[in-house]
Amino acid sequence: MIVIRKNILLIATGGTIASKPTEFGLMPSITSEEILRHVPQIAEFCEVTTVQLMNIDSSHMSPNRWIQIVECVRENYEKYDGFVITHGTDTLAYSASALSYLIQNSTKPIVMTGSQKSIYLQDTDARKNLKDAFIYACDDKANGVKIVFDSKVILGTRARKTRTHSYNAFDSVDYPIIAIIFNDKVVYYIEEEINNNVIFYDKLNTDVNIIKLVPGIHPEIFDFIGEKSDVIIIEGFGVGGLPDYDGKNTLAKKVKKLIDSGKIIVFSTSVPHEGSNIEVYEVGNVIKSNFGILENYNMTIESTVCKLMWITAQYKDIKKVKEVFYTPISHDIVL
C-alpha cells in the first residue's frame, strides 16, 4: 500500500510557543523553522513548508492581522493539503472564530494551536500540541477551522480559553469536541463533510464593541461607546436583561436612543455556559418585545464579536444582518 504524504504549510504568528525570556518578560522570538526543529517526528509523516507571517504576542493580534493570515492561506490554498497556524493562547479563540467566518467551506484543515509554555523549555506542552496539530492536519477527514490543544479538536467557533496556566487551557463551549488525538491517531466523535467550494472574505468592520454590565453602571457609558460603534454587544447578568437603577429606565432609554440612531444592539450574557434567553424575566422581555434587539443565545462571545465584524462588513440592512446572524456557520449557534 502506497501512503501519500501530505504537504502542510506551517504559518507562524508568535505567541508563547515561540517565546523566550527577556529582561522585560517573555517575548516571541523563535522562528517557524526553529519551532519545527523542536519536533523532528513531524517530518516522519508529512512534508512541511514554513512561513513566518508575524512574531507577536497574541495580545497584539487584531482584525487587520486576521486578514493577513487569511491572505496567506488563500495564496497557498491550492499548493497544500492543510495548514497549521501557531498562535498565542490569549486571543486564540477570537482568531479561530474570525477565520471561521473569513474562510468558509474549506475542505482542507486549517488548524490552530499554541501552548502554555514555550517550545524551547524541556517541560512544555508545546511539542505535543504541535505534533497533534499536524496529525489532525494530515487526516483525510479533517476540514475547516479547528483548534487542536491538549489532545482535543475543537471547532473554531466554539472554543474558549478557560484556564490561564493549565495545559487543558481550552474548552468547547456548549458543543461537543470534534475529536481527540489518541496514540497519534484522530478519534472522531463528530464527522463532517463539506461539499461546497471554499469562500474567502477580506473585510471586517472593526466598529464592534462590548458593554459589560456591572451593578450600578453609569448610563453615560452607553453614549460614549455608541459614538465609537456600529454594533454594541451588551453582556448582561444571567439569562439577560437591562436593570433599572433609578426608577426611570434610564438604561433602557439609552439603548432605545442607540437603536433609533441606527446602531445594532445584541444582548449576551457574562455566564460562561448555556447562553442567554432575555425573554424569561420582565427585565429582558420588555426590551426584546419593544426594541427588536438581537440576542446571541448560545454563541460564544468570541464568535459573536467576530461574526458581527464579518456580517456588518458585508451588509448594512438590519434585516439582512439579523438573517445572517441567526444562520448557523460552523455550528456557531444552535437554535
Q: Is the pLDDT of residue 182 over 50?
A: yes
Q: Give the cell for residue 248.
A: 426611570
pLDDT tens profile 258-289: 999 999 999 999 999 999 998 887 788 888 88
Q: Is the pLDDT of residue 130 over 90?
A: yes
pLDDT at 247: 87
| Residues 303 and 320 sit within 8 Å (Cβ to Cβ) | no
Average pLDDT, the chain: 94
Q: Give dist(CA 147, CA 235) in Å, integer.
A: 25
pLDDT tens profile 135-155: 999 999 999 999 999 999 999
pLDDT at 282: 79
Which residues is 186 bridged to in the sheet? Answer: 181
pLDDT at 248: 87
pLDDT at 21: 84
pLDDT at 25: 87
Q: Give the cell for residue 116.
A: 502554555
Q: Is residue 89 among the annotated active site residues?
A: yes
Q: What burial class does residue 61 get, using C-beta atoms within 10 Å of its C-beta: 0-12 exposed, 13-18 middle, 19+ buried?
A: buried
Q: Please name the residues in contact with 68: beta carbons below 8 A apart, sequence gap of 6 or more.
A: 53, 54
Which residues is 185 bridged to in the sheet? Answer: 182
CATH architecture for residues 208-325: 3-Layer(aba) Sandwich (3.40)
pLDDT at 3: 59
CA-CA-CA-CA torsion sign (275, 277, 280, 284):
positive
| Residues 160 and 153 sit within 8 Å (Cβ to Cβ) | no
Percent of the chain clearing pLDDT 90 (strictly above):
84
For residue 1, what pLDDT band results from cuts at 50, 70 and 90? Answer: very low
Catalytic residue among 13, 16, 86, 124: 16
Cβ atoms within 10 Å of 60's Cβ, excluding its own: 14
pLDDT tens profile 59-90: 999 999 999 999 999 999 999 999 999 999 99
pLDDT at 196: 87
| Residues 88 and 32 sit within 8 Å (Cβ to Cβ) | no
Percent of the chain clearing pLDDT 70 (strictly above):
99
The dihedrals phi and psi of 88, each to the nearest 5 degrees, come to -65, 155
Nearest Cα to Cα of residue 160 among 92, 223, 221: 92
Cβ atoms within 10 Å of 208's Cβ, excluding its own: 24
Answer whether 6-200 and 208-325 agree in fold: yes
Catalytic residue among 13, 50, 86, 89: 89
DSSP state of 23: T
Q: Is the pLDDT of residue 168 over 60?
A: yes
CA-CA-CA-CA torsion sign (199, 203, 207, 210):
positive
CATH class assigned to 6-200: alpha beta
Cβ atoms within 10 Å of 290's Cβ, excluding its own: 11
pLDDT tens profile 208-222: 999 999 999 999 999
Q: Give the cell for residue 145.
A: 477551522
Domains of the chain, residue spans: 6-200, 208-325
Mean local confidence (pLDDT), 213-238: 95
| Residues 6 and 47 sit within 8 Å (Cβ to Cβ) | yes
